[in-house]
Structure 1
Amino acid sequence: MRLSRYFLPVLRDVPKEAEIVSHRLMLRAGMLKQEAAGLYAWLPLGYRVLRKIQAIIEQEQDRAGAHEMLMPTIQSADLWRESGRYDAYGKEMLRITDRHERDMLYGPTNEEMITDIFRAHVRSYKDLPLNLYHIQWKFRDEIRPRFGTMRSREFLMKDAYSFDLDLGRAREAYNRMFVSYLRTFYRMGLTAIPMRAETGPIGGDLSHEFIVLADTGESGVFCHADLLDKPIPTHDVDYLSDLQPIVDDWTSLYAATEDMIDMAEFESTVPEDKRIAARGIEVGQVFYFGTKYSDPLGATVTDDEGKEVAVHMGSYGIGLTRVAPAIIEANHDDDGIIWPVSVAPFEVALINLKPGDKDCNTANEGLYQSLTNAGIEVLYDDRDLGAGAKFATADLIGLPYQLIAGPRGLKNNEVEIKHRRTGERETVSTDAAVARLLALIEPERRDKI
């Protein structure tokens, strides 16, 4: 992509309404535009990040045996009355009436609708286990939307729903999603710690929130420090095998949100030098809630004895529009964002230091084509601006690597590679630049774990 033809409305000044780093940087880097309180337009750069996040989630959900579908944003109030949640949910639910005076709502979550889909089509235990998911916009009328897309009213969410014959099999489904989430966030460059959590309006008695530690986090969290360095399950994990030992290994070390903290247990089981009491950002949550929805909505199957039984269910959410700012909170410096390669909008910023120079233009055009042909996502800064402005833009938007080509270096057939995270610079020959960048980028794509 040529920057001269790209829509990238970067801001020089820090927006007054932005309270935290990620919100400031997302606005300054031209990722977002606020349209109303808690409502944001995702501009091209931001939308590329969102799509990268979505792709990783889809890959790991599919790998864990979940099947993708798509449900509507508008739901019938009748389903929610069946489950008993229509009146109980509170003012966060946006209730609307259509032209026929039917009560509708903008879905804040989809337990009722997915249960209705299940009960319409599944009759036998032989069709289980089943896990269905979608990635769809949700709306919750937050009393105080804040922190940009970290707590917005409209948000993009992956929600999956498992259906199983009994508690034991439902727990296996829970474990698959638990391990899937460990891998998903790792691939995004995040250290997300599973913590005991309240189930809230979703219901049930088993839940974990996946928390990224950050000073700007909304939740108080308490955990064992060793969880920060725990190895992530990789390609040798078979999601159809027994994953309980992996889950037990992670949950054996204390980790809980402020709603679930047992201070006496925390202090007695975690050595003093290993205790972390901090703030955190929730990026995902998993729930098991048994027959909470299948009982009232009549989602049953016949078991192997021909008896009608209510299925056991779980739900599993990831807020995509929360993940993006969480990544920034964990990856930035004074100059701007520092994207991990796996979710970066582009992998390389190609900077032409003198676009008016014929030889410099020719060399940069050649590098641009070579990078593109090699499968590297490149944003080519071909604008007629000074070097300082180009460096500032590249640092602000946080692409992992910068390839810098100017007349002085090109006379010696040399270009410079800047590592955005460390600031390290290395000089390589023009002919070797693409191969060197591939060697740097490929391991960081994290698509082969």
Structure 2
Amino acid sequence: MRLSQLFGKTQREIPGEAETISHQLLLRAGMINQLTAGIYSYMPLAWRSAKKIMDIIRDEMDAAGGQEITMPVLQPVELWEKSGRGAAFGANLFRLTDRKDRVLALGPTHEEVVTDLAAHYIQSYRDLPQRLYQIQTKLRDEPRPRGGLVRVREFIMKDMYTFDADDAGLEVSYQKMVQAYKNIYRRCGLKAMVIEADSGAIGGKASHEFMVTAETGEDEIIFCSGCGYAANVEKARFNKGEVAEQVPLPIENVATPGKESIEDIAGFLNLAPSQMLKCVFYVAGKEFIIAVIRGDLDVNEVKLKNLLKAAELRLATAEEVAEKGIIAGSASPVGHDAKVIADDSIVSSINYVGGANIAGWHAKNIILGRDFNAYKTADIASARVGSKCARCGGILESTRGIEVGHVFKLGTFLAETFGANFTDPEGNQKPCVMGCYGIGVGRLLAAAIEQNHDDKGIIWPMPIAPYPVHICGLSMDNDKVKQAAEKIYADLCAAGIKALFDDRIESPGVKFNDADLLGMPIRITVSPRTLDKGGVELKKRSEKAFMLIPVDNIVSEVRHLIQEQMQMAA
């Protein structure tokens, strides 16, 4: 491809709206163009990279027993009402009405559609397992699109759905997909980590995310370098510590004038924050919730929302708290008819200090089960840096990452809902056991840039580079340079090596800046100076050093470098 004919232009200035490195570089390189918030056109270079990513994905899905299909973007909203997941997706689900006043949804994912499809064709255990996938446009009405291709409203996703006869079969399919995803990221030249994750609106028994670490990533990852445990902060577990046995003491009120925060009260009473009870007030749907947790911990709202199976969860307003007769600063879980959710951290100890629900007073020796009861007791605490690992006792650390894949064990709830059943060898009807597996193509492309760049621009991994080679012809009005550059371009094309040829009449500075910005893995520089020295410069984008190669040898040298870099990712 000749750069003089390429659709799109590079730009020098960093776009003001671009927050992440990948967003900045994709815009500056002229690889994407925003139509409106969260909706982008892929320009020729970015689309070449995206197609390479999709080819790698197809290879691995097919190798794992997948069959490619395509399903409708337009979906009857009744499917979402039938599954009950329309409420979970909430406003993120695009809805529209056709000319006959039928309500339709624009598919954010295809679990409902594929399960309905499976119900038509899966009849016997002999039809299982089935692994169906597609690569298709998805739409979600994200409230805050950001990061360029990282969080958008329209995106390309590979989604696979597996149907098995039992949990053992699901585990086989699940592990096949986990390995296939690892292969995909490796082949794309990315370093990804597998972490425990929240299932969110998709639902299901368990899920894992694949994260590419990046400073500007929107997700926080909690991990242990000792044993390798890693989880999204929304899911992370940790060791909350053991407490020495205590003798139950009678509850009593103590004056705490002017003291309201956990730190102030603990200091005033000469206690550790872990000996305090913290009350946080929420509204789940229309129900008032009191979350009770140890004073040194914080409530993880995702864990709490999942525990309550709530479509929406928000902090209660000051007015809503007052309506319940609760005194801010001296709030207590004792003596209320509201639903109390207790963190499991407060089960192993007794004699806590909490609010007395009297201004300026607190109560000592509060005991769960004696002085107040919990509707549910579970882990609703947020792990954080410095917490102890639940597996090995090591110290947890934190990094940021971009989610580039998510796999779920769905179980049978959708199959039961849509009648995706099969007859087992004994003639019994059973629901299919399902899994679903997604990779965002645009996110993966953006993550590749987040992991592979410098202060000059993109450094594409060879397997997904738009072109493996960038030819810089300097002084293209010089006949000798033009002839050599055109020969190299023609020879590479004849050898099946695609190249981006900068044939423009521009200064060396402009050409070198554009080459670094666009980030093709190999650069060939043709100039009067290099030709006078007997060849052309051959340089890896990731390195400063260059080699002087005779024009007639350039194809073999380029082929060698391409093979070398492809093998590193294989």
Given that 1:371 and 1:377 are in contact with CA atoms closer than 8 Å, whether structure 2 keeps it comes out as: yes
The one-letter code of the counterpart of 1:267 is: C
Equivalent position of 1:37 in the other structure: 37
Equivalent position of 1:234 in the other structure: none
The one-letter code of the counterpart of 1:424 is: A
Does the C-alpha gap of structure 1 residues 137 and 162 become closer, same or farther in structure 2, counting only changes over 3 Å? same
**Secondary structure, aligned partner of 2:400:** strand
Does the C-alpha gap of structure 1 residues 192 and 442 become closer, same or farther in structure 2, counting only changes over 3 Å? same
Equivalent position of 2:478 in the other structure: 357
**1:401 maps to 2:522:** yes
Q: What CA distance in whole angstroms lies between the structure 2 residues aligned with 1:223 and 1:181?
A: 20
The one-letter code of the counterpart of 2:560 is: A
The one-letter code of the counterpart of 1:194 is: V
Q: 1:255 aligns with which of 200, 225, 230?
A: 230
Report the CA distance between 1:367 and its aligned residue: 0.5
Q: 1:308 aligns with which of 391, 410, 429?
A: 429
**1:177 maps to 2:299:** no
- After TM superposition, list the pairs within 5 Å mapping 1:177-256 onto structure 2: 177-225=177-225, 253-256=228-231
The one-letter code of the counterpart of 1:393 is: D
Equivalent position of 2:161 in the other structure: 161
Given that 2:210 and 2:405 are in contact with CA atoms closer than 8 Å, whether structure 1 keeps it comes out as: yes
Given that 2:20 and 2:216 are in contact with CA atoms closer than 8 Å, whether structure 1 keeps it comes out as: yes
Task: Provide TM-score, normalisation by structure 2.
Answer: 0.72
Equivalent position of 1:443 in the other structure: 564
Equivalent position of 2:305 in the other structure: none
Equivalent position of 1:389 in the other structure: 510
Q: Which has the larger radius of gyration?
A: 2
Kindly report the root-mean-square deviation, in angstroms, between the aligned alpha carbons of the 2 structures.
1.6
Given that 2:188 and 2:569 are in contact with CA atoms closer than 8 Å, whether structure 1 keeps it comes out as: no
- After TM superposition, list the pairs within 5 Å mapping 1:25-424 onto structure 2: 25-225=25-225, 253-264=228-239, 267=389, 269=391, 276-424=397-545
Aligned residues: 423
Report the CA distance between 1:316 and its aligned residue: 0.2
Moved more, 66-75 or 83-92: 83-92
Greater helix fraction, Structure 1 or Structure 2? 1
Report the CA distance between 1:268 and its aligned residue: 5.5
Report the CA distance between 1:270 and its aligned residue: 5.2
Q: What CA distance in whole angstroms lies between the structure 2 residues aligned with 1:210 and 1:270?
A: 22
CA-to-aligned-CA distance 1:83-122 (integer Å, 9 cap, x gap): 1223342000011111111110000110000011111112
Given that 1:194 and 1:208 are in contact with CA atoms closer than 8 Å, whether structure 2 keeps it comes out as: yes
**1:24 maps to 2:24:** yes
CA-to-aligned-CA distance 1:50-91 (integer Å, 9 cap, x gap): 111111111111111111111121111122222122334200
Does the C-alpha gap of structure 1 residues 271 and 355 become closer, same or farther in structure 2, counting only changes over 3 Å? farther
Given that 1:68 and 1:134 are in contact with CA atoms closer than 8 Å, whether structure 2 keeps it comes out as: yes
Report the CA distance between 1:444 and its aligned residue: 2.1
Given that 1:31 and 1:45 are in contact with CA atoms closer than 8 Å, whether structure 2 keeps it comes out as: yes
Given that 2:522 and 2:538 are in contact with CA atoms closer than 8 Å, whether structure 1 keeps it comes out as: yes
Q: What CA distance in whole angstroms lies between the structure 1 residues aligned with 2:13 and 2:437?
A: 39
Q: What CA distance in whole angstroms lies between the structure 1 residues aligned with 2:68 and 2:494?
A: 32
Gaps of 5+ in 1: 227-251
Given that 1:128 and 1:163 are in contact with CA atoms closer than 8 Å, whether structure 2 keeps it comes out as: yes
Report the CA distance between 1:272 and its aligned residue: 5.2
Does the C-alpha gap of structure 1 residues 27 and 288 become closer, same or farther in structure 2, counting only changes over 3 Å? same
CA-to-aligned-CA distance 1:170-215 (integer Å, 9 cap, x gap): 1100000000001101111111111000111111121100011111
Moved more, 368-377 or 300-309: 368-377
Report the CA distance between 1:146 and its aligned residue: 0.8
The one-letter code of the counterpart of 2:187 is: R
Given that 2:132 and 2:162 are in contact with CA atoms closer than 8 Å, whether structure 1 keeps it comes out as: yes
Q: What CA distance in whole angstroms lies between the structure 2 residues aligned with 1:160 and 1:222?
A: 27
Does the C-alpha gap of structure 1 residues 411 and 88 become closer, same or farther in structure 2, counting only changes over 3 Å? closer
Gaps of 5+ in 2: 241-387
The one-letter code of the counterpart of 1:420 is: R
**1:431 maps to 2:552:** yes
Report the CA distance between 1:49 and its aligned residue: 1.2
Does the C-alpha gap of structure 1 residues 447 and 76 become closer, same or farther in structure 2, counting only changes over 3 Å? farther
Task: Provide TM-score, normalisation by structure 1.
Answer: 0.91
CA-to-aligned-CA distance 1:335-394 (integer Å, 9 cap, x gap): 000000011011110111121111211111111011112222200100011111111100
Equivalent position of 1:246 in the other structure: none
The one-letter code of the counterpart of 1:255 is: A
**Secondary structure, aligned partner of 1:12:** coil
Runs of 4+ in 1 over 6 A off after TM superposition: none
Q: What CA distance in whole angstroms lies between the structure 2 residues aligned with 1:446 and 1:2?
A: 28
Report the CA distance between 1:224 and its aligned residue: 3.8
Report the CA distance between 1:448 and its aligned residue: 8.6
Given that 2:186 and 2:569 are in contact with CA atoms closer than 8 Å, whether structure 1 keeps it comes out as: no
The one-letter code of the counterpart of 1:11 is: Q
Q: What CA distance in whole angstroms lies between the structure 1 residues aligned with 2:5 and 2:392?
A: 55
Q: What CA distance in whole angstroms lies between the structure 2 residues aligned with 1:416 and 1:36?
A: 42
> What is the percent sequence identity of the aligned residues?
42
The one-letter code of the counterpart of 2:389 is: E
The one-letter code of the counterpart of 2:10 is: V
Given that 1:145 and 1:151 are in contact with CA atoms closer than 8 Å, whether structure 2 keeps it comes out as: yes
CA-to-aligned-CA distance 1:399-435 (integer Å, 9 cap, x gap): 1110011122223431101211122211122222211
Q: What CA distance in whole angstroms lies between the structure 1 residues aligned with 2:508 and 2:552?
A: 23
The one-letter code of the counterpart of 1:76 is: P
The one-letter code of the counterpart of 1:386 is: S
Given that 1:187 and 1:446 are in contact with CA atoms closer than 8 Å, whether structure 2 keeps it comes out as: no
Q: What CA distance in whole angstroms lies between the structure 1 residues aligned with 2:394 and 2:484?
A: 58
Equivalent position of 1:242 in the other structure: none
**Secondary structure, aligned partner of 2:50:** helix
